[in-house]
Amino acid sequence: MIYGPRLPRLGTFEAWRDAARALASNGVAPDDVDWGMEDADAGLFGAGAPLPPPRDIKVPKGFVTLAKQVCAHRDAGVHDLLYRVLLRCADTRGLLSNRADAEVQQLEAWAKNIRRDMHKMKAFVRFREVTPQGANRRQFISWFEPDHRIEELIASFFTRRFGDMDWVIVTPEVTTRFEGGDLSHEAKASSKLDLNDETEELWKTYYANIFNPARLKIKAMQSEMPKKYWKNLPEAELIPDLIAGAEARMREMQETAPTLPPIRAERILERIPERAALGELHACARCPIGAQATQAVGGVGPPNAPLMIVGEQPGDREDLEGVPFVGPAGQLFDQLATEARLDRTQAYVTNSVKHFKFTPRGKKRIHQSPHKTEVEACRVWLEQEIAQVQPAFILALGATAAQTLTGDGSALMTRRGRVERGREGLPVLITLHPSAVQRANDGGALREMLVKDLRLGAKMLNDVKAL
């Protein structure tokens, strides 16, 4: 007997779930089921035999979530493969955890496609206001062309993000409405809407002004914003000219960089007189990093400190506050230094690179390691600090600091705990950066290594003070 369940365009997952439960609980084999969508051509068996009555059936943890995503995929074999894996899960414990299984791999790949399609819809839906005069709530409309049947999956995101207004999202197959706090879907064919409003020119002006040529990565941009979405984005018509003029704009930014630090940085400098000689650092344009950072971050500490501690670069907190080692990694370092009895008050603390290099991700700024060319371009400022402070020895935290101070940033785990001769002729104690302890899945071992090296640094500092 052949069963031919047909699934609706809306409520696809729920319909598949109910049919799969009825079939699986009655032991129906995958080859005896011909799955299909309601709007597709009827198969050889049409609707097939009526479904048997459902009985209780247990599904593995995680399968429902996976199936809900995969059901939105347009591949013709989606529902059949889901049913096959459902039956196999009953006989194979932990099947979904077996990433080597070909059928599980295929389901995960389809789910990844769905998540990516949802991410693109979040990023590229552009609402236009259509509020009539006298309306109680603002009203907006948008057109989007998803690759898969994701309208129901993504709707909750828009209701949370835009819950204070009424809106309609039209796709070629489904119209989603959120009116007066009520969400509804209607399966109907629609043609592309012709949408324009008075804010588009304002938005394009804003986009052109925030476009940062120093952060331009064309391949990465096209990967995150594929050209197929450009036709629905008002700013897309500006992109070719912005790319073409990026190099000239970056040169202009470097040539017109401010010669004075920001007011906030100036106030910090007033509290740290030993950094005054490095005031020119804030106008540095030796590499592109400074174009995106809030301010340059120099070192702090006693002007004649016997120990200099050198990290990699400022983080998000350091960039905003203008002081090194105040973020999470710096706070961890302070804890470990206390544990190792290393007197931080006797140390001048700074970084190899003086600006924060990052990539934006939503509201967050994600740290990026500086390139060797950027490290070398910034070394002149560290050399100036070393000449000004004249420490007895230097503690290098991480590969970037080792590269700057010794000319070699490789094999850090082999070299840590050793004292090497630096470029300036000073002893350099090589160790890990505290951020490596934070990132490690099991940071206990790395933590012990760093504390051990800091104890050696404390002994060296005590020996220097005893002279």
Judge contact between 195 and 184, C-beta under 8 A: no
Judge contact between 96 and 89, C-beta under 8 A: yes
Q: Please state the pTM of the whole predicted model.
A: 0.50
- Asked if the model's pLDDT at residue 164 lies above 50, the reply is yes
Distance CA 105, CA 124 (A): 29
Domains along the sequence of the chain with CATH: 6-120 (no CATH), 125-187 (no CATH), 200-255 (no CATH), 263-466 (3.40.470.10)
Mean pLDDT lowest among 84-88, 281-285, 361-365, 444-448 = 281-285
Structure tokens at 2: 């052949």
Q: What share of the chain is helix, strand, coil (3-state, %, to 5)?
A: 50, 15, 35
Mean pLDDT in residue range 219-240: 74
- Asked if the model's pLDDT at residue 166 lies above 70, the reply is yes
Question: In the chain, pLDDT over 70 holds for what percent of residues?
Answer: 87
Q: Label residue 204 exposed, middle or buried (CB < 10 Å: 0-12, 13-18, 19+).
A: middle
Characterize the bridge pairing of strands 139-143 and 128-129. Answer: antiparallel
pLDDT-derived band of residue 396, with 50, 70 and 90 as boundaries?
very high
Torsion sign, CA atoms 340, 346, 352, 358: positive
From 383, 411, 418, select the one nearest 308 (Cα to Cα). Answer: 383
Mean pLDDT in residue range 11-39: 91
Q: What confidence score (pLDDT) does residue 271 get? A: 44
What are φ and ψ of residue 431, in 5° steps?
A: -150, -175
From 217, 291, 196, 219, select the one nearest 251 (Cα to Cα). Answer: 291
Q: What confidence score (pLDDT) does residue 278 get? A: 53
pLDDT-derived band of residue 275, with 50, 70 and 90 as boundaries?
very low
pLDDT-derived band of residue 16, with 50, 70 and 90 as boundaries?
very high
Task: Count H helices and E strands in the chain, helices first.
Answer: 17, 14
Mean pLDDT in residue range 407-412: 90
Amino acid at site 371: H
Q: State whether residue 351 is helix, strand or coil.
A: strand
Judge contact between 301 and 347, C-beta under 8 A: yes
If one compares 154 and 423, the residue with the highest pLDDT of the two is 154
Distance CA 381, CA 289 (A): 15
Q: What confidence score (pLDDT) does residue 206 get? A: 73
Encode burial over 405-419: b for 16+ CB neighbours within 10 A, e otherwise.
Answer: bbeebeebeebbeee
Distance CA 320, CA 289 (A): 15
From 233, 237, 9, select the one nearest 142 (Cα to Cα). Answer: 233
R_g over Cα of the chain:
30
- Asked if the model's pLDDT at residue 149 lies above 60, the reply is yes
Residue 176 has, within 13 A of its CA and on its CB side, a CA count of 21
Q: What confidence score (pLDDT) does residue 274 get? A: 42
- Asked if the model's pLDDT at residue 44 lies above 60, the reply is no
Residue whose structure tokens are 């344009």: 285
What single-letter DSSP state applies at residue 2?
-
Mean pLDDT lowest among 95-104, 246-255, 265-274, 275-284 = 265-274
Mean pLDDT lowest among 74-83, 109-118, 134-143, 261-270 = 261-270
Distance CA 310, CA 329 (A): 13
Estimate the crossing angle of helix 78-91 against helix 102-124, to 10 degrees: 130
Mean pLDDT lowest among 62-76, 324-338, 360-374, 383-397 = 360-374
Mean pLDDT in residue range 2-18: 92
